[in-house]
Structure 1
Amino acid sequence: MRARRAERARRVWRARRVWRAVAGAAALVLGIGAAPAAAAGLRPTWTVAVVDQASRRVLVLGAERPAALRAPELRPVVWSWSADTDPGLGDLEPSRTWNLPDEAKSRVRHGRRYLLTTASGGLAAVVDTVTGAAVWAVDTGPGTNPHSAELLPDGNAAVAASGGGWVRLYAASLGPRSTAYAEYRLPGAHGVQWDARTRLLWALGDDTLTALRVGGTAAAPTLTAERSVPLPEPGGHDLAPVLAAPGRFWVSTAAHLWRFDPAADRFTRVRLADERAERDIKSVGDEPGSGRLLTAAPDHAGPCAWCTSALTLHRPDGVRYLPGAQLYKARWWTSWGSGA
């Protein structure tokens, strides 16, 4: 009996070591016991998707729960994807187009979850998380630097490219390699977000936040600017929904974090406990249910000026480290959907 208890204790100790080594204490003790989600259709989540440029993978990290310590084979990485290992993407030359992946969004359409991802090398893709295969992918071209993507209710995919200076709505619903698109010119395009309530596609550029009206058909879409709002300061980077207040958006700029209310066309500055944490935020989002903020910003401690090995949490504050990682963005792996 004593031997069995001793062995069990050793297994738990080893499991803790493995857990902490893999995620560097970043197993994300997040949201456990959170209140029910305020927004209809949302369930609290305890997982986070990160874009790791070191391993060229999108990693979905699970929460640290007691069950995770019961067996040493359990790991915090619950799902991962890379264009390098998707056999269906060989024609798009992932060694080139999947260079410096920079986006990972979870979207649910018709009850099925998809990963939306882009890479500075030119690749944009919609990936079925059940099969792990890209259902649509395109090479946007050298120097375009796609930075974000969005999935629309009709199955089409919007892509924002900072180097290209455009937002494109690809007719992805036509097939896995459809390259037909409508385009709206937007200098420094970094973010794109669908608002199902107003059926507007919001796009973030260097100096403006623009609401685009989608027209035409799924096979031949059009994009028309409905209105454009100047940013309170230059350097627009991330655009994400405020899940606790549907219809509003998080907007990050080079120096600060903002909350935008489209009904009033008003930006309100979001002040964090450490003002330095407001600078150069690459991604931001609130956890469904708890409202806790998750941000990713360069820590200037690694091999690249734009990446980090830490995930920063706010309200309450905390940091989770992933030693050796070169993270660009981190997002809650939510059940937020694009609609039916």
Structure 2
Amino acid sequence: MKNINIMAGTSCLRVLRVHWIFFTAIVLAISCKRQEAAIQAEKEMVSTGKPQTELATCCWVSITNQATRKVEVYDPADASWTTPKWSWMPATALSYNATSELPLWDTPTDVKVRNNTVFANTAQVITATSYRLATIARYTGTGTRGQKLWVMGFNDTTRLHAMEILPDGNSVVASAGAAWPQGWIRIYSSSQPSPNHGVNTQYYFISAHAVLWDQTHQVLWALGNELRKYGYNTPRSGGTITNPKLDLLTSYTVLPSAWGHDLAADVNNPDQLYLTTNGGVYIFHISTGTFSDVPGAAQDTFVKAISSQPGQNTLVETKPGAGCTLNNWCTSVVNFYNATNGAAAGSRTVSGAAIYKGKTFDPNYY
């Protein structure tokens, strides 16, 4: 765990200040992190009646592994990422159709876990995309983990890159398109029972790559050739839960550099978002509508994924290159950085993996 900040509580911080016993500090830090997780687990058992082993926990990291075609989840506290805490892909045993759905799952591009009880007997769900498939699946609750709750298939020019589920169970998917100037985001009535769960409205958006629900400001952020802020089911949009719609509130048409890739909440500062483009990694300051560079080594080009770790002062990033030859956007390495100064804070390698995105597996909206 060299240099990765996974400590919890003031007792751990005191240990870290004793630099001359560095190894002992690391061991005790891991212990404190586990203790914090156990305390949180107890709270979750009280509130949900479910054991902690069924719940997504901070601060695991999920990867979209295009070599295995799976979503895989790992613990940064583990020095070796050889066995995931959980892995998933659509399967007939999880209620996915072998003819109309499974062939559309090929290169996983995005995954999120969210606290959501809209679907019967669920406490948490995952959303996941491949180029031609978007889905919501059970993560906790009564039933099989990973079981299909909602799915939508697309044609071979769609190139889905991201998905978000809204607190009411409806969802938004982002398509970069197969060629410029294609792309859109589309909002679905996924909260509704079949056949009404396919009602949708599409919004043209060049090279749409990321969507993120902002619970603090009650808006949807979307990133492509620009950054956009949308209202959801506002009076002006005329949307309803059965026919949801978005209302474009603001477009930030000039990014710090061209072509947005990923978007994430700064989980420790509700006035900030993190975003990546071809040219760098940036902080977006919501109250002022301005951008600034992330510091230090965390500032890099062609970063495909960024996220922050709650309470850890740590950023998680993936960029193409290291240890992967399957395609020109993959890597086998997840990198960690200090969020304050951008200093490199370690890495984890999944041997043989083709990671497109590696991100914090955090179930909370911010």
TM-score calculated relative to the size of structure 2: 0.75
Q: List aligned pairs for 1:165-314, cutoff 5 A.
A: 165-175=183-193, 178-206=197-225, 208-215=226-233, 216-230=239-253, 231-273=255-297, 278-299=300-321, 301-314=324-337
Q: Retained in 2: the 8 A contact 1:126–1:134? A: yes
Q: Retained in 1: the 8 A contact 2:76–2:348? A: no
Is 1:32 the counterpart of 2:6 in the alignment?
yes
Question: Which residue type is aligned with residue 329 of structure 1?
Answer: K
Counterpart CA distance in 2 for 1:308 and 1:53 is: 10
2:138 alignment counterpart: 128
Q: List aligned pairs for 1:9-88, cutoff 5 A.
A: 30-35=4-9, 45-64=58-77, 76-84=83-91, 86-88=93-95
Q: Retained in 2: the 8 A contact 1:299–1:308? A: yes
Answer 1 or 2: higher relative contact order, Cα 8 Å, separation at least 6.
1
* Deviation of 1:303 (Å): 2.2
1:155 alignment counterpart: 169
1:140 alignment counterpart: 154
2:50 alignment counterpart: none
SS at match of 1:183: strand
* Deviation of 1:272 (Å): 3.0
The two structures, once aligned, show a CA RMSD in angstroms of: 2.8
Question: Which residue type is aligned with residue 100 of structure 2?
Answer: E
* Deviation of 1:78 (Å): 1.4
For these two proteins, the number of residue pairs brought into alignment is 299
Counterpart CA distance in 1 for 2:267 and 2:96 is: 33
* Deviation of 1:307 (Å): 0.4
Gaps of 5+ in 1: 1-26, 69-73
TM-score calculated relative to the size of structure 1: 0.80
Counterpart CA distance in 2 for 1:334 and 1:78 is: 14
Question: Which residue type is aligned with residue 114 of structure 1?
Answer: V
SS at match of 1:77: coil
Q: Retained in 2: the 8 A contact 1:103–1:148? A: yes
Q: 1:134 to 1:30 in 2, by over 3 A?
A: farther
2:354 alignment counterpart: 326
The percent identity for this pair of structures is: 28
Gaps of 5+ in 2: 11-35, 37-42, 45-55, 234-238, 339-343
SS at match of 2:198: coil
Counterpart CA distance in 2 for 1:46 and 1:240 is: 15
Deviation string 1:25-77 (CA, Å, 9 cap, x unpaired) is xx99954323599xxx99982411111011111011134469x9xxxxx9741
Counterpart CA distance in 1 for 2:174 and 2:99 is: 19
- The range that moved more, 219-228 or 106-115, is 106-115
Q: 1:76 to 1:214 in 2, by over 3 A?
A: same
SS at match of 1:96: helix
Q: 1:191 to 1:92 in 2, by over 3 A?
A: farther
Select the residue among 100, 117, 121 that pairs with 1:93: 100
